[in-house]
Each structure stands twice: as structure tokens, then as C-alpha cells.
């Protein structure tokens, strides 16, 4: 049985009637930029996103860019970002002319190693961008402590973690800004590109709103140099249809993750990562297992954008991926090259290596199908393929 990594069509076709009606409504409204569809979606999603002021943005990448622009970060400034993340987290820092300074990761929760980030602070450091990677919150107590101690702004990259919680509070409720993505494969996926920026402070939100439309107020009177960072009302209308189902999508992902862990952890050489070994505050231990399963920490609500295994040992991760692929099972490597090793960042870098955990994760991780509509038979197929791989001695 083939098991795709993702099946976006299935989720959207289940809402065919409502999505078509939303399209029809926008079509007939004649309002194709901003307007009431956007306002309604921004209001509806804000509580989930952790902050009262929400702005629909053209993408998660643009939301990061807009947050940095609003904070006035630019040439000569440094911004701490995890090396083990999607490209946009670091790319946006370069786009505003600032320098991304890459910090290492935790091998257990995959998030920013805050102790390592602190070692890389200089007099030019202006902000830190914790990423809630794969749907699990970064160590926000440590991040906020670091920010306070050094006077840094905080932008939470919540692209993979809409609605995830840290100590009972939604992610997005901690930083000056939080950014989200509705890229189709994210937990709340649009039918195209879309993103969100949220802020706790009204004045910051208003500045961002101005910059979202070329810094103009009123139209054609430009106080600041902004850009066009607007989400389409059509996407807002689609997202408003999907939003009421979000809790169900999340519960299905959580059930899929729990089922994978329950089935896989009994296999020879498989261990579940231990929160006790968390490396977010430095000093992580090396794992010796043949397969390390991801863990949801007890103090967070993990929303499982990805279910990411570690396969230690030279070449073993790639061998597992090949084995799954031969059985028609989709998987993906998030991420094969840490940001510190990307050629585009080679010029003008402030190199304060090493990044041993990011390098190790890039060679060991593999993400399995975890989408909400995954069936029990499909999970069984994935588990049986992994079991076969391990049994073959690889
Ligand atoms: C997806 C993603 C982004 C970018 O979002 P887009 O909407 O694709 O621009 C940024 N950061 C992280 C961690 C992401 O996963």
C-alpha cells in the first residue's frame, strides 16, 4: 500500500461545498484586496495565534520580514536564529541587511539551544528568533530570560506551531511578534501562499499594518518604506472555512503520533527521546540507539506538524529513506543542510561555530507521514516497513 507524505486534496475536498461557497462569496463581493473577509479571519485566528493583534500576510516568510522591518532591524545588526530550521528564518534576517547568527539545536526537542545562543551574543545583537520546530514550543522561559538580560527583541517563528502551547499559554503570546504560515502543508493550510503576523502591542501592530501596505496612510502618503505584504481575501475566506476544523486536525495528528510511538517503541534498538536529556540549556548527551522517536514534553502541547525520527549511524538514515521509498512510503528530510552550512550565508558571515548538534541532526533526521487523514492501515504499513528495515540488520 502506498502511503504519501501528504494528502492535501483529501482534506480540502472534504470541504468542497463550503470552499466553493467562500470562493463564490468573494467573487461576488468585488472586494479582492483586504476588506471584511480579511478582518473576519484575523479576528477569528488571533486567539489561536496567542496575541490580540493579527495581520493577514502574503506568506510566513513575509511575516518574518515584516516583523524585522517593523522592529527597525537592518545593516550592522545581528539576529540570533537556530541553524536547524527552515531557510526563511535566517534568510529574512539577511534580506533586511542584518546578519543572522546561527545557534545550535537541542537533539531532543530540535529547538534552539538557548545556552549556545547566549554564547554568540555581541554588542550588535538586536533580536532572537526562536522557532517552534515541528509543532513543539521552544524553551520560552529561557528565551525570554535571555532577551530580558540582553535587551533583545523576540520574534517567535510559529510557522509549524499554530495553537501549540507552552506551560498552558499559546505560542505567540511571548514575543514582540509571532509569525505563522498557511503554506498548504502547514497544520492550517491555505489553497496557496498565506501567512500571519501577530503582536501583543497595539502600537507595534499598527506600525506593521502600515508597512504591510507600503507605509502609506492615507493611500499615496508614505511615512515609511514598506512593501506589499497582504494576504488575499480569497485565502482568508478559505482559511475561515478550515479554521473550525483545526482542533480536529490537531487531535488527529496527535493520535497519529501517539500511535506511531506506541507501535515503534517496542522494536529492537528503538528508544523514545527523553525530556530529561533536553539540551536547550546546554549539555546534551549523545544517543546510542538505532532509532530515536520524537517526544512531546509534558509542559507543552505538541501539534505535530512533523513526526521526526533520528536514525544514528553513517548512511543509515538515507538507507531507511530508500527502503521506505521502495515500499511506496513518502518521507522527507527536514532539513538536510543546516543554515550555517548554506552557501548563500558564506559571504559576510560572523562565524562563531561549531554547530555539532545541527550537523548531526541534518544527517540523522527523517520525517514520516503524519497528516490528519492518515488511516490506521497506512500507519501500520509505515511501522511494518520500519520494522522490516531494523530486522534486516540495517
Ligand atoms: C514554512 C515555514 C516558514 C515560511 O513560511 P512560508 O509561508 O512558506 O513563506 C518559515 N519558518 C518556518 C519554520 C517554516 O516552517
SS (H, E, C) 200-217: CCHHHHHHHHHHHECCEC
Mean pLDDT throughout 171-199? 98
Q: What is the C-alpha to C-alpha distance for residues 238 and 218, in angstroms, rounded to an integer?
A: 29
**Domain spans in the chain, listed from the N-terminal domain onward:** 8-245, 246-391
User: Quick check: 269 pLDDT over 60?
Assistant: yes
Assign domain 246-391 one CATH number from 1.10.287.3510, 3.90.1150.10, 3.40.47.10, 3.10.290.10. Answer: 3.90.1150.10
- CATH code of domain 8-245: 3.40.640.10
**Which atom of ligand 1 is least distant from the CA of 181?**
7
User: Quick check: 71 pLDDT over 80?
Assistant: yes
Provide, rounded to the nearest whole percent, the portion of the chain with pLDDT above 90: 92
Question: Residue 250 is inside which H or E element, if any?
Answer: helix 246-264
Q: Quote the pLDDT of residue 224.
A: 94
User: Quick check: 363 pLDDT over 60?
Assistant: yes
Largest separation between any pair of C-alpha atoms in the chain: 68
- Residue 80, helix vs strand vs coil: strand
**Which atom of ligand 1 is least distant from the CA of 63?**
9
Which residue's CA lies nearest to atom 2 of ligand 1? 159
Q: What is the C-alpha to C-alpha distance for residues 265 and 335, in angstroms, rounded to an integer?
A: 24
Q: What angle do CA 196, 81, 180 make, to 5 degrees?
A: 10
Under the banding of pLDDT at 50, 70 and 90, the label for residue 353 is confident
Which residue's CA lies nearest to atom 7 of ligand 1? 60
- The torsion angle over the Cα atoms of residues 158, 160, 163 and 166, rounded to 10 degrees, is -70
Mean pLDDT throughout 187-192? 98
Q: How far is the CA of 86 from the centre of ligand 1 (A)?
A: 7
Q: Quote the pLDDT of residue 162.
A: 98
Mean pLDDT, rounded, of the chain? 96
User: Quick check: 283 pLDDT over 90?
Assistant: no
Residues forming a β-bridge with 79: 100, 127
Under the banding of pLDDT at 50, 70 and 90, the label for residue 101 is very high
Pocket probe mutation, ligand 1, options 87, 95, 181, 338, max atoms within 8 Å of Cβ: 181
Residues with CB under 6 Å of ligand 1 are 59-61, 85-86, 88-89, 131, 157, 159-160, 181, 183, 193, 195
* Strands ordered across the beta sheet of 165-166: 169-170, 165-166, 300-301
Average the pLDDT over each of 13-22, 78-87, 346-355, 366-375 and give the range with the smallest value.
346-355
User: Quick check: 33 pLDDT over 90?
Assistant: yes
Asked if residues 208 and 12 have their Cβ atoms less than 8 Å apart, the reply is: no
Q: What is the C-alpha to C-alpha distance for residues 346 and 176, in angstroms, rounded to an integer?
A: 29
pTM of the model: 0.97
Mean pLDDT throughout 76-96? 98
User: Quick check: 322 pLDDT over 60?
Assistant: yes
Calculate the alpha carbon distances from 298 to 136, 167, 230, 295 in Å.
11, 9, 37, 9
Q: Omega into 354 within 30° of 0, i.e. cis?
A: yes
Mean pLDDT throughout 128-137? 98
Q: How far is the CA of 136 from the centre of ligand 1 (A)?
A: 15
Q: Quote the pLDDT of residue 276.
A: 85
Asked if residues 53 and 302 have their Cβ atoms less than 8 Å apart, the reply is: no
Q: What is the C-alpha to C-alpha distance for residues 112 and 101, in angstroms, rounded to an integer?
A: 12
Q: Quote the pLDDT of residue 304.
A: 98
Q: How far is the CA of 28 from the centre of ligand 1 (A)?
A: 31
User: Quick check: 286 pLDDT over 60?
Assistant: no
Q: Quote the pLDDT of residue 349.
A: 75
Q: How far is the CA of 99 from the centre of ligand 1 (A)?
A: 19
Provide, rounded to the nearest whole percent, the portion of the chain with pLDDT above 70: 98
Q: How far is the CA of 5 from the centre of ligand 1 (A)?
A: 18
Mean pLDDT throughout 44-60? 98
Q: How far is the CA of 181 from the centre of ligand 1 (A)?
A: 6
User: Quick check: 166 pLDDT over 80?
Assistant: yes
User: Quick check: 49 pLDDT over 60?
Assistant: yes
CA atoms within 13 A on the CB side of 356: 7
Contacts for 379 with CB less than 8 Å, ≥ 6 apart: 256, 259, 260, 263
Contacts for 212 with CB less than 8 Å, ≥ 6 apart: 55, 57, 66, 226, 228, 229, 230
Q: Quote the pLDDT of residue 351.
A: 77
Pocket probe mutation, ligand 1, options 60, 67, 239, 303, max atoms within 8 Å of Cβ: 60
Under the banding of pLDDT at 50, 70 and 90, the label for residue 298 is very high
Under the banding of pLDDT at 50, 70 and 90, the label for residue 346 is confident
Amino acid at each position: 500500500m502506498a502511503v504519501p507524505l501528504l494528502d492535501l486534496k483529501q482534506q480540502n475536498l472534504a470541504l468542497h461545498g463550503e470552499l466553493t461557497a467562500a470562493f463564490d462569496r468573494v467573487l461576488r463581493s468585488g472586494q479582492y484586496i483586504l476588506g471584511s473577509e480579511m478582518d473576519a479571519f484575523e479576528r477569528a485566528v488571533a486567539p489561536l495565534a496567542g496575541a490580540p493583534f493579527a495581520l493577514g500576510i502574503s506568506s510566513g516568510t513575509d511575516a518574518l520580514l515584516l516583523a524585522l522591518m517593523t522592529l527597525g532591524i537592518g545593516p550592522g545588526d545581528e539576529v540570533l536564529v537556530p541553524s536547524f530550521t527552515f531557510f526563511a528564518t535566517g534568510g529574512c534576517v539577511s534580506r533586511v541587511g542584518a546578519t543572522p547568527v546561527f545557534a545550535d539545536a537541542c537533539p531532543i526537542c530540535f529547538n534552539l539551544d538557548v545556552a549556545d545562543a547566549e554564547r554568540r551574543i555581541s554588542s550588535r545583537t538586536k533580536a532572537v528568533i526562536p522557532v517552534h520546530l515541528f509543532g513543539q514550543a521552544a524553551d520560552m522561559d529561557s528565551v525570554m530570560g535571555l532577551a530580558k538580560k540582553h535587551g533583545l527583541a523576540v520574534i517567535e517563528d510559529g510557522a509549524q506551531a499554530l495553537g501549540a502551547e507552552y506551560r498552558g499559554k499559546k505560542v505567540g503570546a511571548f514575543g514582540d511578534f509571532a509569525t505563522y504560515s498557511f503554506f498548504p502543508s502547514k497544520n492550517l493550510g491555505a489553497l496557496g501562499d498565506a501567512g500571519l503576523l501577530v503582536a501583543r502591542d497595539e502600537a507595534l501592530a499598527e506600525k506593521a499594518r502600515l508597512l504591510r501596505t507600503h507605509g502609506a496612510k492615507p493611500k499615496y502618503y508614505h511615512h515609511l518604506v514598506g512593501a506589499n505584504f497582504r494576504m488575499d481575501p480569497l485565502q482568508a475566506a478559505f482559511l475561515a472555512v478550515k479554521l473550525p476544523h483545526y482542533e480536529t486536525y490537531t487531535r488527529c495528528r496527535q493520535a497519529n503520533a501517539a500511535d506511531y510511538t506506541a507501535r515503534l517503541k517496542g522494536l529492537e534498538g528503538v528508544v523514545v527521546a527523553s525530556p530529561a536529556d533536553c539540551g536547550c540549556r546546554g549539555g546534551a548527551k549523545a544517543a546510542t540507539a538505532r532509532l530515536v522517536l520524537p517526544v512531546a514534553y509534558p509542559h507543552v502541547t505538541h501539534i505535530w506538524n512533523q513526526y521526526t525520527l533520528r536514525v544514528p549511524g553513517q548512511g543509515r538514515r538515507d538507507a531507511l529513506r530508500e527502503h521506505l521509498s521502495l515500499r511506496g512510503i513518502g518521507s522527507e528530510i527536514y532539513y538536510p543542510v543546516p543554515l550555517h552550512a548554506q552557501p548563500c550565508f558564506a559571504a559576510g558571515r560572523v562565524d562563531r561555530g561549531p554547530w555539532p548538534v545541527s550537523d548531526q541532526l541534518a544527517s540523522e533526521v527523517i520525517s514520516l507521514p503524519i497528516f490528519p487523514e492518515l488511516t490506521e492501515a497506512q500507519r501500520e504499513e509505515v511501522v511494518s516497513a520500519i520494522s522490516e528495515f531494523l530486522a534486516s540488520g540495517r
